[in-house]
Each structure stands twice: as C-alpha cells, then as structure tokens.
Amino acid sequence: MDSQITVPLSTVADSYLSCRHHAKRYHMSTQSVSQIQNPALVNLIIARHAERFGSSPTITVAAPGRVNLIGEHTDYNGGFVLPAAIDRSVFLAASPRQDDLVQIHSADFNADVSFSLRSICRDTDQEWSNYERGVATVLQEAGQRLRGFNAVVGGNVPIGSGLSSSAAVEVATAYALRTLNDLDLDLVTLAKLCQRAENTFVGVNCGIMDQFVSALGRAGHALLIDCRSLDHRLVPIPADMSIVICDTRVKHELLASGYNERRAQCEEGARVLGVKSLRDVDWPTFERRQCELPEAVRRRCRHVVSENRRVLEAVAALEASDLAEFGRLMNQSHDSLRDDFEVSCPELDVMVTAALQLEAVYGSRMTGAGFGGCTVSAVRPESVEHFQAHVASEYEAATGRVPSVYVCHPADGVRLI
C-alpha cells in the first residue's frame, strides 16, 4: 500500500505518538514541522486547535496544491496529464470525538461550522465547508464508519488561482479521517473518493488529476497520469529547471459557463467520431475526419488530441533532460489553449509574452482551467530572480495589476506532520 511514498518516518514530538502508530501501520510519509515551507502557519493552526477545542490535535495533515506542467483539459477526456505537487499546502489539525458531531474552524476564513455525520447537508452560507462535508459523505456512502472530530484547517495554497486548494482540502480531510478512524484505504481509492465528493456533493464536474497528484505526488518529480486507467509514474524534474508560477490575480466570470460548454463540445466531438472519449482519437484519425465536425467542436477536439500527444512528448523530453524541447511543447500548449480551446485571456497572454522575452525561459503557458488564474514557466535556476522582477514589472505596466510570482518546488503528496 502507498508504495509511491515510502519515506522513512521522521522524529516527531511526544504529542504525536498516535500519529506514529498509524504511520507505521500504513507506511505513511511523515514530516517534521521544521521541514514545512511555512512552519509558523502550521504552528498557528495547531495552536488554534488548542484554543478552540481545549486540547492539542491528535494529528496534523499536510496536503499539497498542484501545478499542471502540461496536459490541460485532457483529464475529463480520459487523456494524459503531467502535474506536480507543490510546496504550498493545506494543513488540517484534528482530534477525534466520541460522538458523531463534526466541528471545523477555518483559519483562512475565520469561520466555524458544525454538523452531524448522521445528516450532512450542503452549507450555502459557509461554502468553504462543503469540501469537508462532501468527503465525509462519500466515505460513509462507501461503507466507511466514521466518528466525529474537531479540526482546524488553513493553508498557503492561493485560493481561486488554479492551484487546486479545493482538492488539497479534500485530500487532507480524507487522509485525516483515514488516520483517525483506522480506515483501510489506499491512496488511489482515497483520491477517487475525493473526486467523487467534488463531483457529487460540491457540484464541480472535475477530473481526477488534482486529487490524484495531491495524494500521490513526490518531491523532485512530476506525475504522469493516465486519467482513464489511472496508471501513473513519476517523472524526474531536472535540476537545471525551476518551476515559477505567476498569478494574474484575475478570474473572469466565464470560468464556470466556459468550462461546461467546452466539456460538452468535447463530448459532442467524441460522439461524432464514434468513440467513448477523445482519448481514443489519435492525430492521423483526427486529421482524416476533422471535416465531419462543426467548426467550434473541431477546434476543441484539435486541442485535446494534440495536447495528449504533447504530454507524452514532454515526458520523453524531461527524461532526456531536453529542456529546450520541453519548453517548446509548453509554448505550443499555450498557443493551442488560446487559439483552439479559447480558455486563455488577455492577462494570461501578457504574462506568457513577458516570460518568453527572456532567454533564460525554456517555456511558459497558462495552467489550470483558464479565463484567469496562473501561468507556469520553466526557468533556468540562476535567472529566477531576474525572471520574477521582469515578469512582474511587464505585467503591471500592461494591466495595472500587481501579480504574485513565486518559485515552487515539486513536493511530496499528502502526509502527516
């Protein structure tokens, strides 16, 4: 079980002895607070648990956000993606109760909720809590027996920026419940249940990528995922490539409606071409039969079919340490997302253009669902500071907005602290 994260157990404080017991049983990865990117935030969340509930937490879980290096809008088409977990996480400090009550405090929103495991409903006032509610619901629907718990949740994954803070909350919650209730759940099953929670309870028809890499990521690696079979393998990130994320700080209202429209267009394309999903269409077949598709559907399908091919070529490039080729594929991906899938926006395009003005940049593209959010760039490590200053200056001059620009390192998936 959990063969992807067989990392030696770290030494932790005496108050986490029960955490060590569970870690040994499940071969979980653990990490000391000092190894976390933001130990002060972790200590704050642990202290908040003591303030709110009168005792230290039994366990503290970290679940990372993610950046998708290449493979956009391919996941729900049964295709290939290449994300990496990042060193920004959602942290959840929790302790068990002897009844079926759940009490959660959000450090990010400074808000509290409580509900019974016997009757879980969506919360239209404190919508942030629907991720935890959804996870508890699907675990019980899957036959898992849960007891109540107290928890404090917060993190440093930017909310609403396309770095999957929601999936990190879901995975952190599921991992905490697995540990507190001694559940026999492997990480692949855990990720699938978290996706189901977002699909059926939260109401977002997302693919599996976000939850999967938050659960199964590994430091220093990206994770190639076949979103149909869930076959996956680690892909090393070369040492001479830094991953820099640029947050445009905008999110256009087209996101929800645009996402649903494009998903429907992909399904229409698959129907016309007589396949279960666009994953089943190779490039020669698309070229031969594209004239059968309506214009907008044709362009959506062209992106997905070509993007699947780009992902596999990008993996080969990384494994050969051919970063020039990897960057070229990133640039092609952005062009396809902008022109064929039409999910970019002026702010994202400005950010990519500014990045590609520098010779030290291998490649740059939008990442996430689109219509705002973030770009991801592959940059020579010695030029990262210059990159950050240049892109921030160019973006602010063009848009009047001050972006967030930060370096992210591929990190381990969900783990105990």
Active site residues: 210
Question: What SS3 string covers 192-237?
Answer: HHHHHHHHHHHCCCCCCHHHHHHHHCCCCEEEEEECCCCCEEEEEC
d(CA 74, CA 284): 18
Here the tokens at position 328 are 């070229």
Beta-carbon neighbour count of residue 388 at 10 Å? 17
Length of the chain: 417
Beta-carbon neighbour count of residue 53 at 10 Å? 19
d(CA 205, CA 340): 22
Beta strands in 71-164 (DSSP E): 80-96, 101-106, 111-116, 149-155
SS3 of residue 96 by DSSP: strand
DSSP annotation of 375 reads E
| CA-wise closest residue to 120 among 136, 142, 99, 144 | 136
Q: How far is CA 302 from CA 74, 352, 388, 392, in A?
A: 11, 22, 33, 32
Torsion angle of C-alpha atoms 186, 189, 190, 191, degrees rounded to 10: 130
Are the C-beta atoms of residues 379 and 245 closer than 8 Å to each other?
Answer: no
d(CA 365, CA 374): 9
Are the C-beta atoms of residues 177 and 171 closer than 8 Å to each other?
Answer: no
- β-pairing verdict for 221-226 and 80-96: antiparallel
DSSP annotation of 403 reads P
